[in-house]
Structure 1
Amino acid sequence: MASLLPLSLLISACPPLLWGQLTSKDFYAGQLRAPGDYILGGLFPLFRASARVNQSEQMVTCDRFNPLGFNWLQALRFAIEEINNSSDLLPDIQLGFEVWDTCQQFNRVITPTLHFLTVPLDDELQPKCNYTSLVPRTLAVIGPSTSEEALTSATMLSYFMVPQVSYSASSSSLEDRTHFPSFFRTIPSDSQQTLALVELVERFRWDCISILAADSDYGKGSLATLQELFRYRNVCISYSDVIPGVSQDRESLLQQMVIKLDMFLVNVTIIFADISSAMALLSSVITWQTAGRNRVWIASEAWSTSNEIASLSNIHSIGTIVGLAIQTHIFPGFQEYLQSSKVIHTPAPTQLTNLSTASLESCQVSMADDTQIELLKMAIVEPEERISLNVYTAVYSVAHAIHSARQSIGADATLHPWQILEALKSVSFEVHNISVSFNSKGNLHAGYDLLVWKAIDGTIQFVPVGQYTAIGSLRVDTEEIWAAQGVQIPESKCYEDCLPGQIYRKRFSAWSSCMFICENCPEGTYQADLVTCLPCTLEEWSPARSTACLERDAQYLSWGDPYVMVLVVIACFGLALIIAVFVLFAIRLDTPVVKAAGGRMSLLMLFSLACSSLSLGSFVGRPNDFHCKMRQPLFAISFTVCISSILVKSFQIICIFKMAAKLPMAYKYWMRYNGPYMCILGSTLMQATICLIWYSIKAPYLVNNYKISSNQVYLQCYEGSFVGFTLMLSYIGLLGVLCFIFAFMGRKLPKNYNEARFIVAGMLIYFISWFSFFLTYATSEGKYVAAVQIFAVLNSTCGILFTYFMPKCYIILLKPESNTTAYFQNCLRSHGVARHSSHPSSTEATEPKDTGDCT
């Protein structure tokens, strides 16, 4: 290393050569080389292309010296010298290098890459079936600087599993480990950069932006990624385009691009491009853009710290430039290293034999000449520590991998590139308090600095105003960006201000990839933010164009409802009649009419009718689970008692008149052991059992019905198992049918005991009422379904009351002469005479001596 004179010696000693005769062709024909035990390849843009456009063809010539590429080369030399002088890292091992100029042209990396893959003393790559044992002249490659170059070189190097660490190629395409398994980089991937840009746009609530990208894989790939990410975040991209490359009509195309930017009301533009493309675009913006626009230009990492663009005349007039940059760290010794290379006491080196003799002879210039020192300062610019540090860490990562591989295989064993590659995957170290390790995609764990361009004393300075960390956290000092300049945060939108309750909806047009119009939030939703209508909860509702939801009105059968009031009046009237009849029957309990109606059993019937009427209270008012579970069994069991009493009473009269003479002992036991009441109890228990089975399957419960009305909630009792509910009512119907049968059988009994027409009328009212209810229940919903059931219950109770009990009350109150024992005995004699005359040969039925026995 001591024998290798720095390239700056040649530059400083031969300024005419630098600016005139020295071109990239000189570096492309040969290379900068330093010997060592292990050789690292280097691909650096020491020169840049200048375009010469002819009418017939486009020619690109690399004849512009690139000071940044030169500094990056010095970072490689600086790192290698440190490692070679280290007693801890690769002791007793000297690293060498071969550096080739790429001119930032992807086709310029093919020859050096093939050269790196050849074995020493052989300029040709020999074909083999297995390259595992290949030991090329370079064990690893540092570079290149652009993604296009890296895609070309990585394809070749990955085939031979030669590790490659780029310091500046950020394309996300290089993360594909299937195609590029040996590629690593010390710069964050563009996939991370695009996420940082999206976070930045969202942080300042810019809803509409433009994106311009370079005509390269770096630009177009990132453009597609940004479009997808912003579409997912509902950020409108009003205009996106590719910056034209070098061509005859490039200026006119750039002018049209600037005019289109002015046509849209968008103040934020992301420029994802290399320095050359960004510089061409911004030069046109300075020339053609409309004055007075408070624009924001967001720079990608590739040009955010470009002194060349910052030195453009009137660059400060285009607006605020904010950009992402590789995070900078303290890089001790590099500045001094560059400064030391200025001390020159010898003529140009003869190692670069490709330079012409005439050129070398012209390099006899004294360094005391102030002109030469100024030219040297132009060549060796202020150290670009962001990328230079990437080069530095790339060299150190390869060195650590070599160190680890040698420890694994032994210091004397032959080292192959694939062994270094395996070690590089797990390398982890710190250098100058910087942690270096790679993830599974070959990316370095790193973030970005957020910079703003500020004109200080007439010079553009890159001022840090925030940071995007490796874990995706964005920190921004908003005051530092705009408040210090007396400028408010610019708005960037492509829509008009909407009214409350309206949101922005994307609409496409011929002029823009997206526009926004105002749209009302529909009924049942509310405006959550500028672009979202969220649905109200089930307990809430909203009219169209609402900013908040309202609580639904609860609907149920309330006591104040007019229909309910009518039904309550009827129920109260019926209950009063029941009580009156109960009192009347209790007073006249020993009279023949009451005994014929059932005696004390009739009081039980009236009590059950009263309970049925009282059960209506559970159908009115705000329902709850208790009401829902109790109202049906309360009605069903009480009404079952009533119907069972009528059934037993009818059965008993049939037995007296038609079976008592034939089965006197059965009738005797029936009366002695309270047969009527036991039957009523058994029938009632059967109904209770049906209810228990129903409730065990699926009990009734409270349901909030939101489907009937958009602004109301209907509180309804759902009957649970429909089968259980049907069985409950069907059982009462079965009892009614049995009453029909016994009534038919007793149609020829004495008039005082013949109640067939009354029972038939009462049961018909019951069946018609509940059939109507079932039709309503099956086809309707809402609070008035409960009202229909109340109506059915009232009809059933009033039907029994008026058809069965009212005729008897009529006799008791208005025809007392018919409520005597003599009258009932006379009826029985008349019935017996009629039977003898119609059936003279029939056996006479034994008639009871006391009419009370008929009860």
Structure 2
Amino acid sequence: MLVSLCLFLYLPWKASSAPVDSNSVFSSPATYDSCQQRKQFRLVGMQREGDIIIGGLFEVHLVTEFPELSFRTDPQHLWCHEFDLDGFKMALAMAYAVDEINRDPNLLPNVTLGFRIYDNCIKLGVALRAAMALISGKDESLSNLNCSGSPPVLAIVGDSTSTHSIAMSSILGLFHMPMVSYYATCSCLSDRRRYPFFFRTIPSDAFQVRAMMQILKHFGWTWVGLIVSNDDYGLHAAQSFQQDISGFGGCVAFFEILPKDNDIREIERIIGVIQQSTSRVIVVFSAEAFMLSLMDKVLRLNLTRQWIASEAWSLNPIFLTLRMQPVLRGTLGIAIRRGEIEGMREFLLSLHPDNDPGNNLVRKFWEDMFKCRFAPDVAQTETEGRVCTGDEDVTTADMEYSDVSELRPAYNVYKAVYALAHTLHNLLNCVPGKGPFSGHSCASLHNIQPWQLLYYLQNVNFTTSFGDQVSFDKNGDALAIYDIVNWIGMPDGTMRARTVGVVDESRPAGKVLSLDEEKIFWNFENNKPPRSLCSEPCSQGTRIARKKGLPVCCFDCIPCADGEISTDSIECLKCPEEFWSNPQKDQCVPKETEFLSYEDPLGISLTTASLLGACTCAGVLAIFAHHRHTPVVRANNSELSFLILISLKFCFLCALLFIGQPRLWTCQLRHAVFGISFVLCVSSILVKTVVVVAVFKASKPEGQGLMKWFGAPQQRGTVLILTALQVAICVIWLSTASPTPQKNVTYQASKIVFECAVGSMAGFATLLGYIGLLAAVSFLLAFLARNLPDTFNEAKFITFSMLIFCAVWIAFIPAYVSSPGKYADAVEIFAILASSFGLLFAIFAPKCYIILLRPERNTKKALMGRGTTNN
């Protein structure tokens, strides 16, 4: 084509500089201002003149015969035969759409739209010849060497195949001529850099693949076989399919390409793959030529599979036969959107060569279908024979071609013509000064160039009489909408494709697929859809573990770990910090909060012991108060005894602060009250021990003046000072690093341990260390005074009580450190209660025994006499 263009530009200059002979492209040396065509292609088609012409390419014949080539003579014209009724109806749909537009007063008013339609005979060579004829026109001479004015056609409706469209778009793009295809679906044509002037009213294979994904996802088919034809259509569809199927967790079980030459061995190998595969669903992107041999083998072996048909063969009558019914019944297919064109049937019934003598395509239809021979005329001089008129016994009303109930590709042709009409309408209605071209200019009716249609065609948007919206995206693709068909058996043994749903990507997400499952026939037992999985889905609470070397759809199911859940079976997710997985591992539930509560058996036991100790202290205090004037009570400063009993009562009660849900005030009080109460108790015991030693020393001559330093005021002051030091420690601790409640998850991952953080370990250690220091000094003094005379042997009881106290708290430290959660509080409460009971019983039990059971010994004489006798 480029060579021809160069010759076209070169020869006028050549002609002006030198004479030419009779074989020149010019008619004579004197007519240098015109060009003549050397030869014209012999093409079958039809045309209608108008102010604006659009072209069309359709498959009207199925077989093309090329003449034998000879180097001695010019090649003869090729010959097309085997009339294709469906392709003819598509061409007529274009003719009808043009007539309808010309009758519409609102669309392209005062402008007559014409067309030139050619048959491509399903051959790329013929299609390219027809495209070149549309570009250059059929005028035998060209007088305007400046190439001004409108070209023969402004746009082309076609072609029907992806391969043809790829080739022609590359050529037409050089002339900036828009091409609107009604049947080419290859996703490669969406590449705007390579095909900037290509549009289509049928969705691309990428949309078709997404429509299939909707079906596969709906039925849960994740293990799918893929078979494609070895051409642009099949290979590009396979590429899109393999990219998209992983989007919902699906896998291609096997991928096979059908041989172009019907290689039997290759077909048998593919059949073997199908037999061995566990997949029960097979998707096929192919045309009938590639499918027949495969389906024959499938039929012989009676392989029952769920076939998913691409739009290329989902409505093909070759497969909808009695012979194919056993294996292909139940097939689900993606079909081109069915539409209705009002008035189309009447238009088809009105066709006759007498009504349009110059239409050689209609003439060809009558010749091929009814074997008519028409008288020679200007339009077709090669056809001779008897004349067929409308009065013959041929009625087209009963013919198959008059059926307009299943207009699918023809409906896309109808939409393509209307898209161009609306484009031209918008172009001609451009307001001067507001146009899209240089200087905001507009196009002129008498000088419209094809490239000027691009802007308006890209932005066209209208609704057909059937209710479908027509517009193009940035890649020139139409809105994706498909019918879903299901092959069902008919009473006569044949099959019929019945529409059972729609895939419409213009709908909101989640409603793209509309499917009536009750209408679907399944070619399996119980008329149920098959299961096609490599591995059964993992239940909730488990995760997928991929099998090495196998597709991602083949996996094992592994339970989630504790604290993790899985709802989509893909991976286990860790629960938030304060949540834990339920036993089924499918839901995060709040963790059990653990603390030493009053409802807990351990808490109940410790509470009971605490209250028992407090009541016991109260009872001893009541006994001592009642017998406060007796010698046993008054001996060795009864005031200190009362102070010890009161502090022990606080010790018992402070244990209750360690039970129950920790709160800020309980965390702050529990250790402070515990520390102060025990220091008050131990400091009182220490002073009592010192007084015992002082009294003994004062009874000797050398210690007569010692007691003046250990009188009641000194004793009270000592206890107050020692206790004040502990109060100071608590104040400093609480003011600098106060204990606070915290949720601890380190002890046990499945539980939240609600505890009191000590805040400052140094403060806590200082508090316990001070108590331990006082207890150690008391124990040491009492131990040294244990052998005093019986009159003063209270030191023995103090020694024993301090021994219990120190043993308990020494054992407390490792037990507390190693005890988790609420058990740490229980250990501390146990230490408090054990040491308190030890002090209470060791110091006060002997005295209560004398007071209550041996009152005769509760006299000063008895106490003093016992001492004398012992001496």
The alignment status of 1:637 with 2:678, answered yes or no, reads no
Helix, strand or coil: the match of 1:768? helix
Equivalent of 1:730, from 766, 775, 778? Answer: 766
* Distance in 2 between residues matched to 1:346 and 1:285, nearest whole Å: 48
CA distance in 1, matches of 2:504, 2:714: 97
Aligned partner of 1:72 in structure 2 is 90
DSSP-derived class of the 1:310 partner: coil
Change (3 A) 1:203 1:671: same
Tell me which residue corresponds to 2:265.
Answer: 252
Q: Distance in 2 between matches of 1:344 and 1:768?
A: 123
One-letter amino acid matched to 2:763: L
Tell me the SS of whatever aligns to 2:331: strand
Residue 483 of structure 2 corresponds to 449
Cα deviation 1:184-212 (Å, max 9, x = unaligned) = 32122333322332332344444544332
1:699 maps to 740
Residue 92 to residue 496, structure 1, CA distance change in 2 (3 Å): closer
Please show how residues 78-227 of structure 1 align to structure 2 within 5 Å.
78-104=96-122, 138-155=153-170, 162-206=177-221, 208-227=223-242
1:274-423 superposed matches below 5 A: 274-286=287-299, 288-290=300-302, 293=304, 295-311=305-321, 313-315=323-325, 318-344=328-354, 360-367=381-388, 380=401, 382-383=403-404, 385-408=407-430, 409=435, 410=442, 412=444, 414-423=447-456
TM alignment of 1:568-607, pairs within 5 A:
578-579=617-618, 581-587=620-626, 589=628, 599-600=638-639, 602-607=641-646
- Of 29-38 and 255-264, the range deviating more from structure 2: 29-38
Equivalent of 1:478, from 517, 530, 533? 517
Corresponding position of 1:461? 496
Aligned amino acid, residue 265 of structure 2: S
The whole-number CA distance in structure 1 between the counterparts of 2:635 and 2:489 is 116
8 Å Cα contact 2:802-2:839 kept in structure 1: no
The reply on whether 1:771 has 2:781 as its aligned counterpart is no
Distance 1:111 1:75, change over 3 A: same
Which of these residues, 785, 793, 802, is aligned with residue 832 of structure 2? 793
Instruction: Assess if the C-alpha contact under 8 Å between 2:283 and 2:307 holds in 1.
Output: yes
- Larger deviation, residues 197-206 vs 525-534: 525-534
What amino acid maps onto 1:606 in structure 2? L
Residue 718 of structure 1 is matched in structure 2 by 755
The worse-fitting range, judged by mean Cα deviation, of 31-40 and 531-540 is 531-540
Q: Distance in 2 between matches of 1:480 and 1:87?
A: 43
Q: Describe the SS at the equivalent of 2:428.
A: helix
Match of 1:15 in 2: none
State how many pairs are aligned. 761
1:428 aligned onto 2:461: yes
Corresponding residue for residue 268 of structure 1:
281
Counterparts of 1:244 and 1:818, CA distance in 2: 121
- Summarize the Cα distance change of 1:637–1:114 in structure 2 as closer, same or farther, 3 Å threshold: farther
Q: 1:172 to 1:182 in 2, by over 3 A?
A: same
CA spacing shift, 1:506–1:645, aligned 2, 3 Å? closer
Opposite residue 425 of structure 2, the aligned amino acid is H
Q: Deviations over 1:693-717 (max 9, x none)?
A: 656xx73146678945xxxx54632
Name the SS for the 1:467 alignment partner.
strand
Moved more, 186-195 or 571-580: 571-580
The one-letter code matched in structure 2 to 1:461 is: R
Q: Deviations over 1:724-747 (max 9, x none)?
A: 466345334345446767998999
Aligned equivalent of 1:542: 583
Does the C-alpha gap of structure 1 residues 272 and 393 become closer, same or farther in structure 2, counting only changes over 3 Å? same
CA distance in 2, matches of 1:507, 1:49: 52
| Preserved contact between residue 500 and residue 547 of structure 1 (Cα < 8 Å) | no
Give % identity.
24
Cα pair distance change 1:406/1:570, threshold 3 Å: same
Query: Secondary structure at 2:282's aligned position in 1?
Result: strand
* Larger mean Cα displacement after TM superposition, 391-400 or 748-757: 748-757
Tell me, in whole angstroms, the C-alpha distance in 2 between the residues paired with 1:821 and 1:685: 45
- 1:563: Cα distance to partner? 7.8
Shift of 1:386: 0.9
Structure 1 match to 2:73: none
Deviation at 1:776, TM superposition (A): 1.0
AA aligned to 1:244 is P
| Superposition deviation, residue 640 in structure 1 | 1.7
Q: Which residue of 1 aligns with 2:12?
A: none
Asked whether 1:44 is paired with 2:86, we answer: no
CA separation of 1:170/1:644 partners in 2, compared to 1, >3 Å: closer, same or farther?
farther
Equivalent position SS for 2:284:
strand
Give the TM-score normalised by the residue count of structure 1.
0.70
RMSD over aligned CA atoms reads: 5.9
Residue deviations 1:598-646, cap 9 Å, x none? 75454344334334334545666xx5455x9636733541442231454
Supply the distance in 2 between the matched residues of 1:642 and 1:527 (Cα, whole angstroms). Answer: 50
Equivalent residue letter for 1:139: L
Cα distance change on mapping 1:598 and 1:759 into 2, 3 Å: farther
Distance 1:770 1:636, change over 3 A: farther
CA drift at 1:390: 0.8
Q: 2:652 aligns with which of 584, 589, 613?
A: 613
Compute the displacement of 1:428 (Å).
Answer: 1.9
How do residues 227-246 of structure 1 correspond to structure 2 at under 5 angstroms?
227-235=242-250, 237-245=252-260
- What is the DSSP-based 3-state SS (H/G/I as helix, E as strand, rest coil) of the residue aligned with 1:302? coil
Q: 1:746 to 1:269 in 2, by over 3 A?
A: closer
CA distance in 2, matches of 1:61, 1:804: 130
CA distance in 1: counterparts of 2:647 and 2:450, whole angstroms: 100
Shift of 1:533: 9.2
How far apart are the structure 2 equivalents of 1:42 and 1:733?
Answer: 103
Following the alignment from structure 2 to structure 1, what is the Cα–Cα distance between the partners of residues 290 and 485?
Answer: 20
Q: Which of 460, 471, 475 does residue 437 from structure 1 map onto?
A: 471
TM-aligned CA distance change 1:614 to 1:178, over 3 Å: farther
Deviates more, 1:313-322 or 1:493-502: 493-502
1:400 positional shift: 1.0
Whether the 8 Å CA contact 1:733–1:767 is kept in 2: the answer is: no
1:524 and 1:535 in contact (8 A); partners too: no
* Maintained 8 Å contact 2:667/2:741: no
Rounded to whole Å, the distance in 1 between the matches of 2:690 and 2:564 is: 72
Contact (CA 8 Å) 1:454, 1:461: kept in 2 or not? yes
Shift of 1:388: 0.9
* Offset from partner CA, 1:755-793 (integer Å, 9 cap, x none): 99789757744652442144315xxx3654444333333
Evaluate the alpha carbon distance shift between residue 618 and residue 301 of structure 1 in structure 2; reply closer, same or farther with a 3 A threshold.
farther
Task: Structure 1: give runs of 5+ residues left out of the alignment.
Answer: 1-24, 53-59, 125-130, 828-855
Q: Deviations over 1:461-519 (max 9, x none)?
A: 33222222332532333332339999612423457989999989787799x96886875
- Do the aligned residues in 2 keep the contact of 1:766 with 1:796 (CA within 8 Å)? yes
